[in-house]
Structures are given as structure tokens and as C-alpha cells.
């Protein structure tokens, strides 16, 4: 690598907005469950409970779900919204807390994939069918995304004697927050967080 560009500030701002909206949506859900069970008022202490551990979750759950039906609380319990139970929800909660005080640390770039199509064509035996291929594209995901990229880092090594004239490497932004998430694709994190934490693939029942 001859140079590495800094991640644009807009990436952190947009990611923060998405995370804030998702976390707020969970709190709105909690308040609606409170109202549906007959609760009244602003419900200032009603939140969707997410804990740093199962014990932490259990300790805060009753005050955050006060007034909800047992069935609604059981549906929340089924999601295991704590670290070690449902890490997607825990990461969402932690990243949202960070974003309230400062920008989420978005680090770019990392290697996403390498197009070895042209490489295969250039390595093919002269006169072979593969050597005559035009526009061949075959992207392979990197086993290690080489996060964080640094000037001078080797991102591809050719073990043959072929003089490769063309090689396409895709890079991406990754999300990194110490103790929460480490060098993970920003786009994949946003897709995962929007949101199916229920491993069965079916939404929980919130009926009262």
C-alpha cells in the first residue's frame, strides 16, 4: 500500500444516526407495550432493557418494563438482550451510548475482496480456453481484512512467476470501538442491526 485514505467524517455521522434511530425504536416499542397494558403518563422510566450481562439485564429489567404484561416481558426475555445472549442488541446499545458523547470511531479502510478473474487469465497457459477469456471477474473475500490498513502493508502476494498487469482489490470502511466491536464491516454491521435478533426467524409475540 502506497497510501491509505482516512475514513470520511460523514461515515461516522450516518452510522450514528442509524444506530440512534434503531435504539430509539426499541424504546418506542417498550413505551407502546406499557400503554397497551393500561399504563398512563409519559412513562419516563420505561425503556427497552439491554444489559452488559444477564445479571445486569435482570437487575434493571423490572424498572424498565414496569406496567407491561407478563407476556410482553417474556417476549423481551426471549430475545436475550444482553452481552453473551444477543450481542447484536448489546452492541447497538453500547454504540448508541458512545455516539451520544462523541463520534463512533469508524476506521478505513480494510480489504473486502480481491478480483482474481484477470489474475487467473494472466496465469493460464497460452492458447488455453481460460487464457482467451474476456472480462472474467471472480471476487474472493479476504480471510483477514488486514484491519487497519497501513502504508507499506502487503495486501496481495503472488506465489507464481507471473507478471500480473491488472488486479482489482475492493476496500471498505470498518467499524471499531474498543471493547464493543473490532474491525467489522460498517455496511454489514448496519445490515445485521436492522434487525432480526430472533434466531428462529419469526418475530416474537407482543400480544397482551
With bands split at pLDDT 50, 70 and 90, how would you rate the model's confidence at 160? low
With bands split at pLDDT 50, 70 and 90, how would you rate the model's confidence at 112? confident
* Higher pLDDT among residues 188 and 73, named by residue: 73
What's the grid cell of residue 141?
Answer: 473475500
DSSP string, 139-200: EEE-SS--SSP-TT-------SS------EEEEEEEEEETTTEEEEEHHHHHHHHTT---TT
The answer to whether residue 57 scores a pLDDT higher than 80 is: yes
> For the chain, what is the mean pLDDT?
81
The H or E element containing residue 31 is helix 9-36
Q: What is the pLDDT of residue 145?
A: 61
Quick one: average pLDDT of 53-73? 95
pLDDT in tens, 74-98: 999 999 999 999 999 999 999 999 9
Q: What is the pLDDT of residue 208?
A: 42
Can you list the alpha helix ranges (DSSP code H) found in 37-160? 54-64, 70-78, 87-99, 117-123
Quick one: average pLDDT of 100-119? 76
pLDDT more than 70, % of the chain: 81
With bands split at pLDDT 50, 70 and 90, how would you rate the model's confidence at 29? very high
Q: What is the pLDDT of residue 108?
A: 65
181 touches 93 (CB < 8 A): no
Q: How far apart, in whole angstroms, are the C-alpha atoms of residue 182 and residue 175?
A: 7
Q: What is the pLDDT of residue 200?
A: 47
Domain ranges of the chain: 9-103+186-193, 110-176
With bands split at pLDDT 50, 70 and 90, how would you rate the model's confidence at 188? confident
Maximum pairwise Cα distance, the chain: 79
Amino acid at each position: 500500500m502506497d497510501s491509505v485514505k482516512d475514513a470520511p467524517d460523514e461515515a461516522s455521522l450516518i452510522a450514528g444516526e442509524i444506530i440512534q434511530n434503531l435504539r430509539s425504536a426499541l424504546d418506542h416499542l417498550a413505551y407502546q407495550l406499557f400503554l397497551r397494558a393500561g399504563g398512563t403518563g409519559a412513562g419516563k422510566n420505561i425503556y427497552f432493557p439491554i444489559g452488559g450481562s444477564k445479571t445486569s439485564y435482570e437487575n434493571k429489567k423490572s424498572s424498565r418494563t414496569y406496567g407491561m404484561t407478563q407476556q410482553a416481558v417474556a417476549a423481551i426475555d426471549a430475545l436475550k438482550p444482553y452481552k453473551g445472549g444477543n450481542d447484536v442488541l448489546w452492541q447497538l446499545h453500547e454504540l448508541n451510548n458512545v455516539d451520544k458523547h462523541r463520534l463512533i470511531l469508524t476506521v478505513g479502510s480494510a480489504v473486502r475482496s480481491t478480483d482474481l478473474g484477470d489474475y487467473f487469465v494472466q496465469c493460464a497457459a497460452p492458447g488455453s480456453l481460460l487464457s482467451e477469456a474476456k472480462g472474467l471477474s471472480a471476487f474472493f473475500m479476504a480471510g483477514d481484512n488486514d484491519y487497519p490498513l497501513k502504508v507499506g502493508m502487503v495486501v496481495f502476494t503472488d506465489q507464481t512467476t507471473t507478471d500480473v498487469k491488472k488486479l482489482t482489490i475492493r476496500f471498505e470502511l470498518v467499524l471499531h470501538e474498543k471493547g464493543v466491536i473490532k474491525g467489522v464491516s460498517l455496511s454489514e454491521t448496519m445490515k445485521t442491526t436492522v434487525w432480526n435478533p430472533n434466531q428462529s426467524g419469526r418475530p416474537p409475540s407482543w400480544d397482551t
